[in-house]
Structure 1
Amino acid sequence: MPQDAPARARLCAAKFVAHNIPLAPGLCTRPGEPLIGESPRTKAIHDALRLFVPGGAGGKTAVDLGCLEGGLTYELWRAGLRVVGVEAREDNLERCLLVRDWFDAAGAMEFVRSDVREFRPGAAFDVVLCSGLLYHLDDPAGYIGELGRLAAPGGLLYLDTHVAPEDADLPECNFRAALSPWKTRLHEGLAIRYREYAEDITKPESSVGNPVSLWMDIASHVELLQRAGFSRVFEMHGWFGAGEMDLKRRFARHYWACIKQA
């Protein structure tokens, strides 16, 4: 799609609700909002690419799971990766395709309409981005195993997710009213600790197909990641400024760079 007046009109009429993607000087998908590249969460992803992708990202492959409107897919593409964005909702996918075509990036930035739990690519990826997704699933323990299959040997998984707050932190957590008391279940012999989270399925960024999702504790995440083949799991800090730990407690959010054993 050439960057002409009709293309500009289609993008402006698309009503992006999540990602503010820069398109051209003075033109973006959500005017008045911070650009997606300015988000500390996005900067942490770029930092992980620099630190944990040997030889740089250029020409390597990536998948953006649950990509919404393609903002982080765009950021991975901008870093030099060949990216597949996976998105279940048709309206989100339409906005993704508008962005791809605006940049004439077919072949380097592709999108697939699929529930991530049903996505079965023909090959593994050098970089797997699972950002804002895992805590929307009703079987996150099982899906971590799938993340291990999606990552190529030596590849990077960047995992950005909510975790279940411990009792001492629950009063500070912004989501406490939607979280259940602690529960446990066995997953392949491992006792998983989790809280159920009541999804607001009216929101465009909620779960797909399950009104209740599971938020696991930190130890369960790390054990499951190691079982899935990620021999090194690094927690990311440093992009959220003063009060970062208080902020993470309030939002019960953690960021991990995980390296698949070669």
Structure 2
Amino acid sequence: MEKKELLEQIQDLEQKYGAWAYDIPLPFDVWTGGNRNIPHTRLKRIVQIVSDLVDKPLSECRILDLGCLDGMFSIEFALHGAETIGIEIREDNIKKAIFCKNVLNLSNLDFRQEDARHISIESHGLFDAIICSGLLYHLTAHDAIELISKMFNMSNKVVVIDTHIALKPVTRYLINNEEYWGEIYNEHNEQDTQKIKSKRLWASWDNNQSFWFTRPSLINILNKAGFTSVYECFNPPHLNYGKPGIEHFDRCTFVALKGEKCKLFTSPAANTLNENWTENSLDYSANKIKSKKSLFRKIIQKPKKNK
């Protein structure tokens, strides 16, 4: 394929299926978005997490990318040599993703037009790392919890969840006598047809509302699913794609590891203790930090002498 033909096919795909979600580099110094020169720091963060935490080179890993849009994250892992599966429900995205795969001749990459909510060991197998970036907050509370359980079962070790969270516990969700908190987010109008919904590439697939869990509730869900440790990633930083400011104050990257529970010898009572984080216990807001600092100053302040 010559450069002219490649450019024509990219333009043709955009006319048929809409604008590209990602700016992906292809041969002849051609980019799907025209080379926007935007540093994708979220991608950098997620690839670094996986590289740091899997017990082998990326080229020996099996990676699952859920809700992959037109495939940038999947392509990145495949270019590192990983056997990669990208799951995407929208035809508009999957057509562009498959095009990039074929142009780059990535035989270790498989794009599947499927609903990420329906993944299973039987259909997809086990993975060294599962990436769930930009998907969880488009699901209902029930579907999000179910997906986390499936990711636990299908992961050998690492699950990366990059998601929006609710900053306040507004709405309670009760399942199996477990209480979780978050906030309901409107994705579509009730009268919207599925055809209309399917064209909204940055929204849910069919549910009109999604549920954003609070930080404590999401961590409790991951604990309940069976992950032995959960972390939040701050480095590499994702601020605003190299521009001033912060893109989102309510979007976080969580890393859940599936390992063996380590039993303590010197504190056996801790082995059977399983606690949940309470709401507002993991609030990073400036106001809360300020109030704690003020309280500390009051504590250390010397008492005034009586006049």
Residues in 2 aligned to 1:198 and 1:145: alpha-carbon distance in whole angstroms: 24
Match of 2:116 in 1: 116
SS at match of 2:183: strand
**Residue 31 of structure 1, CA deviation:** 1.1
Counterpart in 2 of 1:226? 223
2:68 corresponding residue in structure 1: 67
* Match in the other structure for 2:173: 185
Offset at residue 79 of structure 1 (A) = 2.4
Which residue number in structure 2 is paired with residue 100 of structure 1?
A: 101
Cα distance per residue 1:185-233 (max 9 Å; x no partner)? 2223210102100115463121001110000011111111122222111
- The structure richer in helix per residue is 2
The answer for the alignment partner of 1:257 in structure 2 is: 255
For the pair shown, which has the larger CA radius of gyration, 1 or 2?
2
Aligned residues: 239
Higher strand share: 1
- Equivalent of 1:22 in 6, 25, 28: 25
Match of 1:9 in 2: 8
Tell me the CA shift for residue 236 of structure 1: 0.6
Q: For the Cα contact (< 8 Å) 1:158–1:255, is it kept in 2? A: yes
For 1:122 and 1:204, locate their aligned partners in 2 and report how far apart those are by CA, in whole Å.
24
* Partner Cα separation in structure 2 for residue 158 and residue 118 of structure 1: 18
Q: Which residue of 2 aligns with 1:213?
A: 210
Could you tell me whether the CA contact under 8 Å between 1:3 and 1:102 is conserved in 2?
no
Kept in 2: contact 1:135–1:215 (CA 8 A): yes
User: Would you say the 8 A contact 2:159–2:256 is kept in 1?
Assistant: yes
Q: Identity of counterpart residues, as a percentage?
A: 24
**Structure 2 alignment gaps of length 5 or more:** 189-196, 261-307
Question: Alignment partner of 2:168: what SS?
Answer: coil
Offset of residue 123 of structure 1: 1.3
Bigger relative contact order, structure 1 or 2 (CA pairs below 8 A, ≥6 apart): 1
| Per-residue deviation, 1:166 | 2.2
Post-superposition, which runs of at least 4 consecutive aligned residues in structure 1 deviate over 2 A?
A: 2-9, 32-35, 119-122, 200-203
Q: Select between 221-230 and 87-96 the one with higher mean Cα deviation.
A: 221-230
TM-score normalized by structure 2? 0.72
Give the whole-Å Cα distance in 2 for the aligned partners of 1:30 and 1:92.
14
Q: Secondary structure at the match of 1:247?
A: coil
In structure 1, the partner of 2:83 is: 82
TM-score (norm 1): 0.84
SS in 1 for 2:45: helix
